[in-house]
């Protein structure tokens, strides 16, 4: 049993390393979109679900209003999700002062919100119903976007006739960088690389609703979120899979830094864990089981590392290293050496693989400075994966001060 466990641990490490190399290869195979000055002719509807975003939404609307994009081709649709602050008033005041086409909708006017779980999905669905534009772009109310954001997404759409386009989402810190902020920013850089790699590999369970574009007709063809509205989250990843079933050759990742949205880091551990628990809760809903298998591999690998490290500490404490300095004590200590060798092998392999990915991703997104403290992040990342991966499947979570499933 002892030997079998060590063999399994080594195999998990090798499998993890190869998986990360596959992600790296597929990322490099994804075409980087270079600057183009092609004019755009497609009108768009930007749908923004918002709840209690009085501190943020003005910045997003300002950024949209300043887009280098024909104003007559933009329709802004904000769906207020029963905000308890000044979100609705800020949106109405801001949009009334511009020449864009816009709609400000209230979720409670369309549905009984008391018996709802997937609030964000319903808000987006209502936005889609209330527009006639074919190209839908969704983002979150706490995001900011660069000046050419719309142009780069629409240019990509016009060159590919895509049914769905996933574009990058990054984190930023409005204050000074801390270890916690660096951890989150690097983690998100890695997610974007993996998103692109999965889409390139034909695994359509990655995407971020803070920067997603799709045809209204495609959304309608798959009946929107029907069948996946049992979870509060999944307005992005689960929808990507549904639309990919129409034609998987028309789902793309827009590898263009000018098409990136940014959102603020989470500043406290409790909210961070709530977010990650919410993401974890949909893991079993992936219809492409290759995604579930990959997530399972990563979790099992990290669990094996924790177990091996715990065995090292446990055996040392139990035998107090060399009990009575006997031959039996020395033989017992050999088991510590075996666990130490395997754990070291796992950690080195994981560190090399992760550094290759994060160095590549952070270089592309101009975030290499976040690699400071990488080794400490690696150590904590193991515990983070194990804790979130296991606990996230059992705890209830909150989103926007609501308990959701």
What pLDDT is stored for residue 173 in this prediction? 85
**Is residue 268 located within the same domain as residue 319?**
no
**Is residue 13 located within the same domain as residue 84?**
no
Residues 207/239, Cβ–Cβ less than 8 Å: yes
Cα separation, 178 vs 222, in Å, equals 43
**Is residue 38 located within the same domain as residue 95?**
yes
Q: Please list, in sequence order, all residues whose beta carbon lies within 8 angstroms of the beta carbon of residue 386, skipping any fewer than 6 positions away.
A: 299, 302, 303, 306
CA distances from 54 to 124, 202, 272 (A): 19, 39, 20
Within 10 angstroms of residue 58's Cβ, the number of other Cβ atoms is 17
Q: Which residue's entry shows tokens 């803070």?
A: 210
**Is residue 215 located within the same domain as residue 298?**
no
**Is residue 277 located within the same domain as residue 301?**
no
pTM: 0.90
What pLDDT is stored for residue 319 in this prediction? 66
CATH number at residue 224: 3.90.550.10
State CA 164 to chain mean position distance.
Answer: 17
Within 10 angstroms of residue 312's Cβ, the number of other Cβ atoms is 19
**Is residue 19 located within the same domain as residue 143?**
no
Residues 381/49, Cβ–Cβ less than 8 Å: no
The tally of domains found in the chain comes to: 2
Task: Please say which residue of 272, 287, 302 terminates a domain.
Answer: 287
**Is residue 264 located within the same domain as residue 347?**
no
Q: Please list, in sequence order, all residues whose beta carbon lies within 8 angstroms of the beta carbon of residue 95, skipping any fewer than 6 positions away.
A: 61, 76, 78, 102, 104
- R_g over Cα of the chain: 23
Residues 42/154, Cβ–Cβ less than 8 Å: yes
**Is residue 339 located within the same domain as residue 194?**
no
| Angle subtended at Cα 282 by Cα 246 and Cα 119, rounded to the nearest 5 degrees | 85
**Is residue 306 located within the same domain as residue 256?**
no
Decide: residue 86, CB within 10 A, 0-12 exposed, 13-18 middle, 19+ buried: middle
Task: Please say which residue of 223, 252, 287 terminates a domain.
Answer: 287
**Is residue 303 located within the same domain as residue 336?**
yes
Which range of residues forms the domain containing residue 320?
2-24+291-404
What pLDDT is stored for residue 327 in this prediction? 57
**Is residue 239 located within the same domain as residue 251?**
yes
Can you list the residues of the chain whose pLDDT is less than 50? none
SS3 string of the chain? CHHHHHHHHHHHHHHHHHHHHHHHHHHHHCCECCCCCCCCCCCEEEEEEECCCCCCHHHHHHHHHCCCCCHHHEEEEEEECCCCCCHHHHHHHHHHCCCCEEEEEEHHHCCCHHHCCCHHHHHHHHHHHCCCCCEEEECCCCEECCCCHHHHHHHHHHHHCCCEEECCEEEECCCCCCHHHHHHHHHHHHHHHHHHHHHHHCCCCCCCHHHEEEEHHHHHHCCCCCCCCCCCCCCCHHHHHHHHCCCHHHEEECECHHHCEEEECCCCHHHHHHHHHHHHCCHHHCCCHHHHHHHHHHHHHHHHHHHHHHHHHHHHHHHCCCHHHCHHHHHHHHHHHHHHHHHHHHHHHHHHHHHHHHHHHHHHCCCHHHHCCHHHHHHHHHHHHHHHHHHCCCCCEEECCEEEC
Average pLDDT along the chain: 88
What pLDDT is stored for residue 395 in this prediction? 77
Task: Please say which residue of 287, 302, 318 terminates a domain.
Answer: 287
**Is residue 57 located within the same domain as residue 16?**
no
Decide: residue 289, CB within 10 A, 0-12 exposed, 13-18 middle, 19+ buried: exposed
């Amino acid at each position: 049993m002892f030997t079998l466990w060590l063999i399994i641990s080594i195999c998990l490490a090798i499998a993890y390393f190869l998986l990360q190399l596959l992600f790296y290869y597929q990322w490099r195979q994804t075409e980087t979109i270079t600057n183009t000055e092609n004019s755009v002719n497609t009108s768009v509807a930007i749908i923004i679900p918002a709840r209690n975003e009085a501190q943020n939404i003005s910045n997003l609307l300002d950024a949209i209003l300043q887009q280098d994009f024909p104003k007559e081709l933009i329709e802004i649709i904000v769906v207020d999700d029963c905000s308890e602050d000044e979100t609705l008033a800020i949106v109405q005041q801001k949009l009334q002062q511009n020449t864009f086409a816009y709609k400000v909708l209230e979720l409670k006017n369309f549905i009984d919100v008391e018996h709802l779980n997937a609030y964000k999905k319903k808000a987006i669905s209502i936005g889609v119903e209330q527009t006639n534009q074919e190209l839908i772009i969704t983002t979150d109310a706490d995001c900011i976007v660069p000046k050419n954001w719309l142009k780069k997404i629409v240019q990509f759409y016009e060159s590919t006739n895509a049914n769905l386009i996933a574009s990058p989402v990054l984190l930023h810190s409005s204050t000074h960088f801390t270890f916690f902020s660096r951890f989150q920013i690097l983690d998100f850089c890695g997610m974007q690389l993996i998103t692109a790699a999965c889409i390139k590999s034909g695994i359509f369970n990655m995407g971020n609703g803070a920067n997603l574009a799709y045809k209204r007709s495609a959304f309608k063809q798959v009946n929107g979120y029907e069948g996946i509205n049992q979870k509060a989250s999944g307005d992005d990843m689960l929808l990507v899979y549904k639309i990919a079933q129409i034609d998987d050759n028309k789902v793309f990742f827009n590898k263009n830094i000018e098409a990136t949205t940014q959102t603020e880091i989470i500043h406290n551990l409790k909210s961070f864990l709530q977010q990650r628990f919410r993401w974890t809760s949909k893991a079993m809903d992936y219809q492409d089981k290759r995604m579930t298998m990959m997530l399972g591999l990563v979790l099992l690998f990290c669990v094996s590392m924790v177990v091996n490290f715990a065995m090292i500490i446990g055996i040392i404490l139990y035998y107090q290293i060399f009990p009575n300095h006997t031959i039996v004590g020395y033989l017992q200590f050999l088991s510590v050496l075996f666990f130490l060798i395997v754990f070291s092998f796992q950690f080195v392999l994981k560190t090399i693989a992760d550094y290759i990915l994060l160095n590549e991703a952070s270089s592309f997104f101009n975030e290499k400075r976040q690699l400071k403290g990488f080794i400490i992040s690696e150590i904590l990342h193991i515990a983070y994966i194990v804790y979130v991966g296991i606990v996230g499947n059992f705890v209830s979570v909150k989103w926007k001060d609501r308990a959701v499933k």
